[in-house]
Amino acid sequence: MALFLTEADVVRLFPMKEAVSAVETAFRRWGEGDATNHPRQRLRVQRSGLQLMAAADAGLGVMGFKAYSTGPQGKFLVHLYSMAGGQLLAILEANWLGAIRTGAASGVATRHMARQDASVVGVIGAGFQARTQLEAVCTVRPVKEARAYSRHEERRQAFAQEMTVHLGIPVRAAASAEECVRDADILVTITNSREPVFDGRWLAEGAHVNAAGGNHWMRREIDETTIQRSSTIVADSVDDARIECGELIWAAERGVLRWERVRELRDVVAGRLPGRAGPLDITLFESQGLALEDVAAAHHIYQRAQVEGVGQPIL
């Protein structure tokens, strides 16, 4: 009997520490050849649209897809299936699942690419996905303080207050993007901006950047200076980045970047490539969001739901 799991179930059954572990293990299996991921497909219809993405994880014995509609009433759902028999295991509401696994992917990249002593974090963006981004970074590094910037003062103030309580570290609202970026060991960008949100000259030596908002060719959070200064550039998937990563597409078309420079997170996690060469290097992770992350998340939540007797039986 398959289970239906709600947003509330997902939040309760998928804490960030477990999310980072599940997503990291999925990337390792992918790097070892035990998983596969298909790029997102977008169907545009009038003022709305439908997006589909699928993956399979042989190590877990599951496969699945996420489908979501865009527009004011957009809905996210993940379908999880058994690879052995093809039976449906679960359907999960996935708005928060997407935010958690996207944060977890940045946590994985931070674990493998940021300096071990990184303790100051800057976050540009103050939406609901910024919360899981900061929480994931704090899960893998000894963060002592964070600052957040949004163009909307009330949002950055509310974000700082909420995350100070949630994480137990001082989080302050920065008055400008430059104040947020200067001297940060780790920088997260999580916006839907079509233009770069900071000047790459502001980055400190040894900084690590998680660019997590620009999963569309028209979006560009990172400028060419950041790309030029980054000695290591890693994408969750190069195939997806060639289709969706606006800042890398833009840089490649202008001759600033050769795609051969861009490595994949699975190879770093599997130990085939280093995440950084030295303490003064600037490193960049480009996150598009993958179906493999959704499948790993859905499987973990489904397993916990079975143990705890959570979920509504369907079919």
Active-site residue numbers? 66
How many CB atoms neighbour CB 69 within 10 A?
15
Give residues with Cβ within 8 angstroms of 242, minimum separation 6.
Answer: 248, 249, 259
Which amino acid appears at position 278 of this protein?
A: G
Is there a contact between 185 and 115 (Cβ–Cβ < 8 Å)? yes
CA–CA dist 225, 223 (Å, integer): 5
Q: What does the alpha-carbon distance between residue 201 and residue 225 come to, in Å, rounded to a whole number?
A: 7
* CA of residue 88 relative to chain centroid, distance: 26
Q: In angstroms, rounded to a whole number, what is the distance separating the alpha carbons of residues 143 and 167?
A: 10
Own/partner contacts of 8-13, CB < 8 Å, gap of 24 or more, are 9/92, 9/93, 9/301, 9/305, 9/310, 9/311, 10/92, 10/93, 10/94, 10/96, 10/97, 10/100, 10/301, 11/96, 11/100, 12/310, 13/300, 13/301, 13/304, 13/305, 13/308, 13/310
Helix (H) or strand (E) run with residue 70 in it: strand 62-70
Taking a C-beta distance cutoff of 8 angstroms, is the pair 37, 27 a contact? no
